């Protein structure tokens, strides 16, 4: 529930940002900063959550934050001051960073090994669940019960999560030996470096990247902190998350597979909804309503298929099946035209949902089955880094790519639509006459120019989204190549039945 709540919260806030700007009376720039502060602070705490739970126990770390999260979520809709609004969103983001980071650690520390695969399944389920249902609820709240429920939905769920943490977590004493060996400096530097980088990535597209002094400063500061972190981890007696954990072949390739997965999954999370908004002119609730009737059945089937594949044909074959689903869905997306609407994306959504469940579950299973159990906390830290930073990086890069490709295609199409084009005046008159009757010929031509400009912009958008789908196709093929370099993983509770598990 905590992992799904986090993904759902971030998704609905992103989709409903335009409604929030109107509700709070924010400018475009203020809305952009609000969105950044509502997400970036997650990275500050998320990598450290596994270690904090190991030291203090799940009850001490999670019950209180669920209550605080509910209080903050209830208060936000009543705030009008921008600075206070940003501060409350930052606090809320830090708490969300706790929620997801606690999910796998809580499961692995409290559940019997035979149930680990089902805990992982719920963890992975959050991605397609948030993408499908989050899209619908974000758009429908402002049209029905009110935009405030973008915040209040979490305020209802969080206390239930706190109760479940209290009832399900085993009573533990504070690990004072672990506290004595704490690498507080490493955790602080790592968290601030990632947060700084996230701010740069999230604001980069709006501020035009290296043409912005702020973005350049943030990127430079993040790079400097990363160097300091590596130097610190090489000197400390017991490093918290030494980068050497990534030197294992299958672990490094597992993270590379997740990066390919996050790029390939942009077809359904970014390209499809943006196309339907910008070209088909649909609202979010209309897009989400398309997947509502069969969404639960689709998610259940995809999750069950992923579990069965990981347990039967193992990780490498499972990863290949998932990336093939991504590649086929991306290829279908390259057939895009301006006539496409909801039905044409049906098969793409189905393939993407299966691909997301299958690939991510198999990739995480690969990571944990190849790590030394003594370094599982460090691995969990890097899993959270990839979850937040890689997804932000690929989404930002894709947004910049689509924007620049739309500008290029608009220019290239415009080269062939000029006053020298045969039948230019008659074409403008026909286009202008279709809108309304009356007016002089000059008025009709003026209206025709406006219609023609809209057509050029529409086709430029279509071509840009096709280019985006080609990027996701290349990412899927790259994922297949990465998987081909993996070696067989050792037996692990996530991938074998309890009777075949080796003793810890």
* pLDDT, position 83: 92
Asked if residue 137 lies in contact with residue 156, where contact means CB atoms within 8 angstroms, the answer is no
1-182 matches 250-397+466-504 in fold:
yes
Domain locations along the chain: 1-182, 186-239, 250-397+466-504, 408-458
Which 8-state DSSP code applies to residue 174?
Answer: -
Asked if residue 305 lies in contact with residue 354, where contact means CB atoms within 8 angstroms, the answer is yes
CA distances from 388 to 91, 125, 201, 258 (A): 17, 16, 12, 12
Mean pLDDT of 300-313: 86
pLDDT in tens, 21-33: 888 888 989 988 9
Element of type H or E holding 384: helix 376-385
> Percentage of residues in the chain with pLDDT exceeding 90?
29
Q: Residue 504: pLDDT band by 50, 70, 90 thresholds?
A: very low
- pLDDT > 60? residue 438: no
What is the CATH code for 1-182? 1.20.1250.20
Q: Which residue has the higher pLDDT, 411 or 432?
A: 411
Which 8-state DSSP code applies to residue 417?
Answer: S
pLDDT in tens, 319-331: 999 999 999 999 9
Which CATH architecture describes the domain 250-397+466-504? Up-down Bundle (1.20)
Q: What does the alpha-carbon distance between residue 70 and residue 152 come to, in Å, rounded to a whole number?
A: 8
Single pTM value for the model:
0.84
Buried b (16+ CB within 10 A) or exposed e, 148-187: bbbbbbbbebbeebbebbeeebeeeeeeeeeeeeebeebb
Q: How many CB atoms lie within 10 A of CB 6?
A: 25
Which 8-state DSSP code applies to residue 489?
Answer: P
Length of the chain: 504
Asked if residue 191 lies in contact with residue 47, where contact means CB atoms within 8 angstroms, the answer is yes
Q: What does the alpha-carbon distance between residue 359 and residue 472 come to, in Å, rounded to a whole number?
A: 14
Which 8-state DSSP code applies to residue 183?
Answer: -
Indicate the range of 243-247, 408-412, 432-436 predicted with least confidence. Answer: 432-436
Mean pLDDT of 443-455: 80
* pLDDT, position 87: 94
Indicate the range of 243-257, 313-327, 430-444 predicted with least confidence. Answer: 430-444
Tokens 């680990």 correspond to 116
pLDDT in tens, 224-234: 999 999 898 88
Element of type H or E holding 328: helix 314-333
Q: What is the CA radius of gyration of the chain?
A: 24
Tokens 């602080």 correspond to 188
Q: How many CB atoms lie within 10 A of CB 372?
A: 10
């Amino acid at each position: 529930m905590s992992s799904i709540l986090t993904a759902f919260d971030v998704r609905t806030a992103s989709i409903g940002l335009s409604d929030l700007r109107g509700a709070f009376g924010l400018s475009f720039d203020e809305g952009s900063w609000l969105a950044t502060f509502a997400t970036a602070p997650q990275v500050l705490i998320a990598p450290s959550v596994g270690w904090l739970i190991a030291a203090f126990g799940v009850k001490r770390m999670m019950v209180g934050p669920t209550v605080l999260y509910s209080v903050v979520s209830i208060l936000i809709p009543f705030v009008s001051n921008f600075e206070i609004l940003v501060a409350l969103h930052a606090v809320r983001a830090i708490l969300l960073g706790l929620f997801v980071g606690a999910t796998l650690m809580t499961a692995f520390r409290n559940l019997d090994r035979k149930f680990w695969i089902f805990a992982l399944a719920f963890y992975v389920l959050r991605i397609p669940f948030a993408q499908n249902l989050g899209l619908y609820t974000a758009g429908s709240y402002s049209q029905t019960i009110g935009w405030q429920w973008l915040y209040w939905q979490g305020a209802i769920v969080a206390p239930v999560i706190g109760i479940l943490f209290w009832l399900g977590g085993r009573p533990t004493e504070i690990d004072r030996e672990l506290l004595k060996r704490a690498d507080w400096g490493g955790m602080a530097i790592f968290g601030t470096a990632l947060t700084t980088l996230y701010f740069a990535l999230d604001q980069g597209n709006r501020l035009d990247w290296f043409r912005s002094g702020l973005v350049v400063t943030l990127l430079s500061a993040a790079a400097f902190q990363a160097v300091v972190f590596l130097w610190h981890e090489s000197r400390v007696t017991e490093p918290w998350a030494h980068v050497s954990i990534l030197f294992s072949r299958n672990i490094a390739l597992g993270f590379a597979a997740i990066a390919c997965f996050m790029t390939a999954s942009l077809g359904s999370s970014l390209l499809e909804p943006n196309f339907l908004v910008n070209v088909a002119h649909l609202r979010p609730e209309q897009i989400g309503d398309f997947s509502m009737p069969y969404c639960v059945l689709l998610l259940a089937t995809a999750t069950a298929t992923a579990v069965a594949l990981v347990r039967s044909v193992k990780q490498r074959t499972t990863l290949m099946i998932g990336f093939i689903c991504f590649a086929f869905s991306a290829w279908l997306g390259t057939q895009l035209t301006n006539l496409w609407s909801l039905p044409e994306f049906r098969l793409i959504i189905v393939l993407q949902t299966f691909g997301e469940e299958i690939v991510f579950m198999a990739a995480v299973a690969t990571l944990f089955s190849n790590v030394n159990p003594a370094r599982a906390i460090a691995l969990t830290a890097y899993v959270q880094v990839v979850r937040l930073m890689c997804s932000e990086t690929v989404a930002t890069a894709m947004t910049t790519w689509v924007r620049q490709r739309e500008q290029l295609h608009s220019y290239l199409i415009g080269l062939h639509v000029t006053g020298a084009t045969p039948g230019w005046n008659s074409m403008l008159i026909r286009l202008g006459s279709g809108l309304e009757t009356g007016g002089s010929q000059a008025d009709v031509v003026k209206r025709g120019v406006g219609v023609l400009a809209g057509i050029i912009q529409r086709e430029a958008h279509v071509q840009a989204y096709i280019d985006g789908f080609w990027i996701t196709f290349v990412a899927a093929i790259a994922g297949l190549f990465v998987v081909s370099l993996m070696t067989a993983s050792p037996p692990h509770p996530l991938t074998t039945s309890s009777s075949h598990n080796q003793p810890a």
